[in-house]
Amino acid sequence: AGQRGPGVQGPHHGRDGARAHDLQGKAAISNATAASIFTLLNNAGIKTHFIRKQDDKSFVARNCAMVPIEWVTRRIATGSFLKRNPGVNEGYRFSPPKLETFYKDDANHDPQWSTEQLIEAKLKCGSVTIGAEEVQIMLRTTRTVFEILEKAWASLNCSLIDMKVEYGVDLQTGELLLADIIDSDSWRLWPSGDKRLMVDKQVYRNLKEVTAEALETVKSNFAWVAEQIKKLSPKPKSQVAVVMGSPSDKEHCEKIKKACEKLGVPCELRVASAHKNTDQALDMIAEYEGMSLIFFLYTVESLITILECQEHFYCYKQLFAINGLN
């Protein structure tokens, strides 16, 4: 398996089999796209190799031994899937998304592999031999990544049709990480769900004649995508308040706060015993009236007491009880 080191440079060519053309400026566009997407996924809790953007044409990433498999997720049937599955009409919608795996082997045109083939191949990547457990991790992560990005793009009235991702094994920790690069070469993206408006690499593949003007259109599409991605990571509109029955609960509640902040959600720790001092607890809750807020009540006693005061429900949307969090 190949490796990806700390510095990763974005691709700067348009490629499709024997076809290859220089796209001046594409490296910076691809790098900006990848950095934004990996940042979004990191913030969503996905484990990736991405650390930070280094400069216009590179980013810093964990050193990984790459797993030689492309994971493809499809929401809509189109492209090569139709050729491999005659009888399926273009536009067929997969629910849940369709997952396919392809072994990276240029000489044999990246053959499709079944899950069983992948497990039985026992691929050695760094210190890890890919088995059933690793395959399940990649399968679940791939589907989650697609659904995160699908919903994100839907917020901008763009349909994520399909995409491919790859994984690597961290050479230091042995952990499986989403790796390689995710940019406009990695997916099909149709604004307003309209294939005619596609802004992905398929525009390049479909060119009957490659002209300077056509290549400029391809690059401008990629630049548009990179600009739109900046809108996919809005600042959190909600926050979390963790209500402890006593200061002795702080050690456990700090874990909740840390997890929330890792996801970019502001979190406050408050002490108020709703069981012993109900009025004080309700006054504290009233401070958050009108906010988009989730309350975590650390003890069941606190939950029961608050539930008895239903007239105060209007001040928050969700309430959870946590008892003995480990």
Calculate the average pLDDT of the chain.
82
Residue 318: predicted pLDDT: 41
Q: Which is nearest to 243 in space by CA: 307, 290, 294?
A: 294
Q: Could you tell me the pLDDT band of residue 146, with boundaries at 50, 70 and 90?
A: very high
- The size of the chain, in residues, is 326
Domain boundaries, the chain: 26-231, 238-308
Taking each helix axis as running N to C, give the angle between helix 132-154 and helix 26-43, from 0 to 180 degrees, rounded to the nearest 10: 110
Is the separation of the CB atoms in 222 and 181 below 8 Å?
no
Pick the CATH number of 238-308 from 3.40.1180.10, 2.60.40.1250, 1.20.120.80, 3.40.50.1970: 3.40.50.1970
Q: Which CATH superfamily is domain 26-231 in?
A: ATP-grasp fold, B domain (3.30.470.20)
Residues 219-242: pLDDT tens digits? 888 888 999 998 886 566 678 888
Beta carbons within 8 Å of 221's beta carbon, 6+ residues apart? 184, 199, 200, 203
Window from 75-79, 136-140, 199-203, 282-286 with minimum mean pLDDT: 282-286
Residue 296: predicted pLDDT: 59
Highest-scoring range by mean pLDDT, 12-26, 169-183, 184-198, 263-277: 169-183
Beta strand ranges found along the chain (DSSP E) = 3-4, 7-9, 13-16, 19-22, 50-55, 58-61, 64-66, 69-76, 93-103, 112-113, 124-125, 128-129, 158-170, 176-179, 187-191, 239-244, 267-271, 293-297, 318-321
Residues 84-122: pLDDT tens digits? 999 999 999 999 999 999 999 999 999 999 999 999 999
Residue 235: predicted pLDDT: 60
Domains 26-231 and 238-308 share a fold: no
Residues 276-316: pLDDT tens digits? 777 777 777 777 776 666 665 555 444 444 444 444 433 33
Mean pLDDT (whole number) for 238-249: 81
